[in-house]
Amino acid sequence: MIRKFIILLLDALFPINCSFCGRFDFFSSKLSVCKICYKERGKEQVTAPRDFICDICATEIIHEDCAYCNSRNVFFAKLYYIRIRGDFEREIIQKVKFGNAPYLSNYFRLGVRKCLSSLKERNYTAIVSIPSNKKTIRNRPIPVCKPVTNFLARQTQVEAIIPFIKKSKELQSGKSFRDRFLHAQSAFAIKKSHAKKISGNYLLVDDVFTTGATVNEMAKLLLLNGAKEVDVLVLVKGKN
């Protein structure tokens, strides 16, 4: 009750307007996107029928084969995604990362509930976040995935952890398809406090799935250190 009162008070004192048009309404106070912009720009996306989607990587199956899974060793057990990347989703990610609009991350909480029951059934030991690059952490004090990760932790009653350290200062963005995979293999390591001490199932949360190089490498590290299975949840998945 006290928490709700504090939230209402903060909304009244410091209203959050829509990051796109500047309007204020109930939607913008929670998501930083007003109802009008949500309806006009966040339209329901058309995806391939579920029968033609790979059960592992959620890629469209063509000629009974999954091109993604057949082209590499896939270490995660299942990929969940909240939105397919379109212009609106791309703009939201950019505004959160570079436009000083951290509240926009809450927009992706709208789609979490569609897969929440499936996630709860997996009985995760922990929800795993990927460490931020030190180069960008001053400009992005709030990671894009943090609101969704915190929401999942509360809903599933599972703790959120960061068991990795980032060894490379380079960014994945801007690299070629091949270089993303090569960079990911040497960019991260498991913390000593977690080395060979991991067990059970884990949910790895990331913002964007393009090539999947980073989350695939993270999944491999978790498996090498004792995890039984690793699932992945991304805010936005690239179009097939």
- Each residue of 110-137: pLDDT tens digit? 888 888 999 999 999 999 998 876 655 5
Are the CB atoms for 30 and 18 separated by under 8 Å? no
CA 106 – CA 16 distance, rounded (Å): 12
Residues 6+ apart with CB under 8 A from 207: 93, 144, 145, 234, 235, 236
Of 8-12, 39-43, 63-67, where does mean pLDDT reach its minimum?
Answer: 8-12
Q: In this structure, what are the phi and psi dihedrals at residue 197, rounded to the nearest 5 degrees?
A: -120, 20
Question: pTM here?
Answer: 0.84
Whether pLDDT at 228 is above 90: yes
Please count the CA atoms within 13 angstroms of the CA of 61 that sit on its side-chain side: 15
Average pLDDT over residues 83-90: 89
Task: Select the more confidently predicted residue: 51 or 101.
Answer: 101
CA 60 to each of CA 5, 47, 50, 235, 239: distance values in angstroms, whole numbers, following the listed order: 46, 9, 9, 18, 9
Whether pLDDT at 74 is above 80: yes
pLDDT reported for residue 143? 75
Six-digit token pair at 228? Answer: 């039984």
pLDDT reported for residue 66? 93
**Alpha helices, H only, 188-234:** 213-224
pLDDT reported for residue 125? 96
Reduced to 3 states, what is the DSSP secondary structure of residue 222? Answer: helix
Task: Quickly state the pLDDT bin for 12 (edges 50, 70, 90).
Answer: low
Average pLDDT over residues 191-220: 92
Average pLDDT over residues 137-146: 68
The CA-to-CA distance between both ends of the chain, in Å, stands at 45
pLDDT reported for residue 7? 47
pLDDT reported for residue 103? 81
Q: Is 210 exposed, middle or buried (0-12, 13-18, 19+ CB in 10 A)?
A: middle
> Is the CA virtual torsion 158, 122, 146, 206 positive or negative?
positive
Considering the chain, what is the average pLDDT of its residues?
82
Task: Quickly state the pLDDT bin for 166 (edges 50, 70, 90).
Answer: confident
Report the percentage of the chain scoring pLDDT > 90.
40
Are the CB atoms for 222 and 67 separated by under 8 Å? no
pLDDT reported for residue 222? 96
CA 28 – CA 11 distance, rounded (Å): 10
pLDDT reported for residue 147? 86
Task: Quickly state the pLDDT bin for 154 (edges 50, 70, 90).
Answer: very high
Average pLDDT over residues 42-59: 74
Are the CB atoms for 218 and 130 separated by under 8 Å? yes
